[in-house]
Chain A
Amino acid sequence: MAPFFASLKRTWTDLCDGVKDIFTPGTSSTATADRGVTRNGSANGHCNWQEDRFSSRSDFRISQDQIFDPYNFDTENHTSPLKRPKLNGGFWGEQRSGPLGGAFTRPHEKPTSRKPTFTDYPAMKMADGSRKQNGKQQQQQAFVVSDAARTAAARAREDIHRRPAGPLPPGPRGRSEASRTFHSTSIGMNWDSDMSYNRRLVGLTNDGDSGAYPLTRRNLPSNSTFSSVVGNGVHTRGHSFPDRRNTENYLGGEENIPLSRSSAAPGFVSREPVPRPPVRRSNAPLPVPSFDTFQKQKQPATAVERYDSQKALQRRRRTENPFEAPSSTVHDSWKASPFVAFTATRIPSGVTAEPVDSSYSARLRQNIAGVDRSRVQPNGSVARKPPVRPATPEVITISDSDDEDTAAPVGNQKPHAAVSPTDLRSGRIRQSPVEKTTVIKSGVNGYVSPTGHLEEYQQFKDDPNYVPKERQDDILRRMKDVMKHFQPTDLDYIPLNADEDQEVDKALGPGKPEDVLSDAFKITIRRKDMLTLKGLAWLNDEVANFFLEMIVERSSRIAALPKVYSFNTFFYPQLMNKGFQSLKRWTRKVDIFGFDMIIVPVHMHSHWCLAVISLKEKNIKYYDSLGHDNLQCFALLRGYLEEESKDKKKTDFRLDWEEWNFVSVANEECLPQQRNMCDCGVFMLKFADFISRGKALTFSQDNMPYFRRRIVVEILKQKLIAE
């Protein structure tokens, strides 16, 4: 094995020769074939970087971050300040062995002793200098590169050589498609189609990502897609790197290494699964909600209700603005977003259909020229519908700027003949004359105003908050739309006032655990019990029972509410462990069949759920904020009701079961779910709270911190806030 490892150290030369050997099978046994036939088969194929690579191996102790520094590139020459060859590894980018190749292996690290495969090292140079080939290598030599493929590759190479310096125009494939291809084909060696190895591409596939994903050593975690591409169109056109130029630099873009443009079949799918690129995580801090967290807007409970409300919104908008383009999902989200709606500029659908000049200056022009301006009515209102575009746009552009890029557009923006909704409604479609829009670019603050508003503009040009008149209407209308989404705060989500907040802080603050904070319903809430409502603590039975007692008390006090009876939290374990006989005396003084609903808190080892027996609606519903169902619970409660009926009322309850429903709500309907493993107690209590008032379960995990504090207040006051 010693000769074997010795040969590993000289992998690079081995590789180069091995590649060459494949092309020249007849001469494969000679170690030093003529350099004229190179790995890429081109006349100038004697790549300097081969020698460079070999000679500069000792110089490799250089910061890889420095090499890959994306901000340190010579953008003129498209080269790294450091020599590109240092980036390239061996055949698989691993003249130093290792999964990421030599370029990414720290020099001081011991190379991993992975057994090389034939694909790694097509030919081994033995200690005596002879060539050792295994069977698979000989099989590989049996590949015959067709003349057609060679000529095609050569043509492609020449084509590439002729290409001007600078970014390539976008390829025939779309970016997304290219990204997909780049991914799915998983970048193996394409032995079949192009044997010329004229290009090796080593890099990351940052799929659909922006260029702000520098390829540094830090960004080469084990889960990133490290791809080696040899040969073909996979990487040549429309690759997943958004910036061609940088890609060139990152990925070994030596100009003397021709770039194949052959449209051969994609490379074979890698034998190893290619992991997805890492999810980009923004380093920005979490957005701070600018609205009061507790002022939760009311959400539809079920998916059906959500759908209905969305449809209703669309209907309403259709009614109000009959000439508005049919709303899309994007448009609706735009409407629903209170933050965007104020500032969003609505671009008529007709404009977006134009061939897009995506350059920055074009987009700038599009923005500043004011697409909405052209639809301003003489009376100041804005036409909602983008009308038919006239055949010959007449735009007079006056610009005081010499800059060609920022000059107002000639053909990009076309004014639209405005149609007033009132005209259309009355049946008279009046084509208003095409407005001659004059765009003036001001050097003062860059504001552009059409001639129609010159006086106004002159008046307010120094006011940074200047909003043109027709824009004011638009903004007001949008504000109205936005405000519709904010329900008036109801008692379910009413924020705690300052006094209550202070009480909560005091109750949850420091103090003796045995301090009695609240004592009612024969339940003593001490500080240690109250602290189970703090933060992410698990609720205990005292708090739960106290709260359920408050619900029962509220229901008994207020006639409008359903009559509610609640078992305590020990009922269900007792029923499960000991059966009905041990519970016979629990309802000695109460007739549970006289209530509308019976709340049964379900404690399962360390999880709070809720079962509600609705004697009025004849169903048993099971509410689990983790979404499980519990058939045993249904069976136990059925049995309990039967026994209880037999025991107390001497009637057979079993006759009624046909009308009853047993619903695991999380399966059947939209049930608020907890997103952690500590709020189930709060969910259980709020389920009971809302159900006992017949309210829809509109809360979510986001409300839990508020609910915890609110429950503290309610326990302290011994009275529920919402009645």
Chain B
Amino acid sequence: MSDTENDTKADIKPKIGGGDGDNAAIQLKVVSAEGDEVTFKIKMNTTMGKMKKGYADRKGITNMGKFRFQFDGRPVQDAETPASLGMEDGDTIDVFDEQIGG
């Protein structure tokens, strides 16, 4: 992981949600097929859609339909949260490009 990504980590971190309580933040790694990693700090009840948006912003992806999040081989939907997915601190989300074929 590069230094710049560490530096920008704070910016990507979603700023929603108030108190800590049961809404503790965890760190998630988003790993692309090429091996690029982006680390997110995300609260347990934050939707994955926001994280996707953050990833797209980070990577400069404009079309949200062009990549997929997969967590343990299962697709990650926008409405899901780390809590609903049973994520733990340090878990890895795989990001894949859209596959088309003929």
Question: CB within 8 Å of B: which residues of A?
Answer: 522-524, 526, 528, 532, 536-541, 544-545, 567-571, 573-574, 577-578, 582-583, 585-588, 603-608, 676-681
Nearest CB in chain B: distance from A658 CB, A: 30
Q: Kindly provide the distance from the CB of B28 to the nearest chain A CB, expressed in whole angstroms.
A: 14
Residue total for B at the interface (Cβ-Cβ under 8 A): 17
A532 and B33 in contact (CB under 8 A), knowing A567-B73, A570-B94?
no
Pairs A–B under 8 Å by Cβ, sample size 28: A522-B75, A522-B77, A524-B77, A532-B100, A536-B102, A538-B100, A538-B101, A539-B100, A541-B68, A541-B100, A544-B99, A545-B75, A567-B73, A573-B99, A574-B96, A578-B33, A578-B35, A582-B94, A583-B73, A587-B73, A603-B101, A605-B101, A606-B102, A607-B101, A608-B101, A680-B101, A680-B102, A681-B100
Please indicate the chain B residues that have their CB under 8 angstroms from the CB of A522 in the complex: 74-75, 77
The answer to whether B101 touches A539, judged by C-beta atoms less than 8 angstroms apart, is yes
Q: What secondary structure prevails in chain A residues at the interface with B?
A: mixed
**Nearest chain A residue, comparing its CB with the CB of B64:** A514
Cβ–Cβ contact B96 & A573, under 8 A: yes
- The CA-CA distance from A125 to B74 in the complex, in Å, is 88
Which of chain B's residues 81-102 have a Cβ closer than 8 Å to chain A? 94, 96, 98-102
**Nearest CB in chain A: distance from B79 CB, A:** 9
Total cross-chain contacts (CB, 8 A): 75
Instruction: Give the residue among B75, B94, B98 with the most A Cβ atoms within 10 A.
Output: B75
On whether A540 and B73 interact (CB within 8 A), knowing A570-B94, A573-B33, A574-B94, the answer reads: no
Contact partners of A545 in chain B: CB under 8 A = 75
Contact of A606 among B70, B72, B94, B100 (CB under 8 A): B100
Residues of B within 8 A of A541 (CB): 68, 96, 98-100
CB distance from B71 to the nearest CB of A (A): 9
CB contacts (< 8 Å) of B70 on chain A: these are 568, 570
Of the candidates B73, B100, B101, B102, the one whose C-beta lies within 8 Å of that of A568 is B73
A-B pairs, 7 with minimum CB distance: A586-B73, A678-B102, A538-B102, A541-B99, A608-B101, A538-B100, A585-B72
Q: How far, in angstroms, from A532 to B96 measured CA to CA in the complex?
A: 18
B65 within 8 A of partner (CB): yes
Tell me, rounded to whole Å, the shortest Cβ–Cβ distance linking A182 to chain B: 45
Name the residue of chain B whose CB is nearest to the CB of A572.
B99
Contact partners of A603 in chain B: CB under 8 A: 99, 101
Q: Which residue of B has the minimal Cβ distance to A540?
A: B100
Q: Which residues of A contact B73 (CB under 8 A)?
A: 567-568, 570-571, 583, 585-587
CA–CA, A528 and B63, complex, Å = 12
**Minimum CB distance partner of A569 in chain B:** B99
CA distance A578 to B65 in the complex (A): 24
In the complex, which residues of chain A have a beta carbon less than 8 angstroms from the beta carbon of B96? 541, 570, 573-574
Residue of A nearest to B73 (CB): A586
What chain A residues lie within 8 Å of B35 (beta carbons)? 578
On chain B, the residues within 8 Å of A577 by CB distance are 33
Residues in B whose Cβ lies below 8 Å from that of A588: 72
CB distance from A677 to the nearest CB of B (A): 5
Least CB distance, B31 to chain A, in whole angstroms = 8
Q: Tell me the smallest distance from the CB of A577 to a CB of chain B, in Å.
A: 5
Chain A residues in 8 Å Cβ range of B99: 540-541, 544, 569-570, 573, 603
Query: Residues of B contacting A536 with CB < 8 Å?
Result: 102
What's the minimum C-beta distance from A718 to chain B, rounded to whole angstroms?
15
User: Known interface pairs A538-B102, A570-B96, A573-B96. Does A586 touch B75 (Cβ–Cβ under 8 Å)?
Assistant: no
Closest to B76 in A: A522
Q: A540: which B residues are within 8 A, CB to CB?
A: 98-100
- Shortest CB-to-CB span from A611 to chain B, Å, is 14
Q: B25-38 toward A: CB 8 Å interface, digit per residue (1/0)?
A: 00000000101000
Closest B-chain residue to A545, C-beta based? B75
Contacts of A539 in B (CB 8 A): 100-102
Chain A residues lying within 8 Å of B94, measured Cβ to Cβ, are 570, 574, 582
How distant is the Cα of A526 from the Cα of B68 in the complex, in angstroms? 14
**What is the chain B residue whose CB lies nearest that of A602?**
B101
Write the chain A residue with the least CB distance to B71: A585
- A684–chain B nearest beta-carbon distance, Å: 8
How close is A405's CB to chain B, nearest CB, in angstroms?
A: 60
- Beyond A568-B70, A680-B101, 8 additional contacts (C-beta under 8 Å) are A522-B75, A536-B102, A539-B100, A541-B98, A573-B33, A586-B73, A607-B102, A678-B102
Q: Is the CB of B102 within 8 A of A677?
A: yes
Cα separation A417 to B101 with both chains bound (whole Å): 66
Inter-chain contacts of A681 with B (CB < 8 A): 100-102
Chain B neighbourhood of A677, CB < 8 A? 102
Give every chain A residue within 8 A of B98 (Cβ-Cβ).
540-541
Report how far A606 CA is from B97 CA in the complex, Å. Answer: 12
The interface centre, meaning the residue of B35, B73, B98, B102 with most chain A CB atoms within 10 A of its CB, is: B102
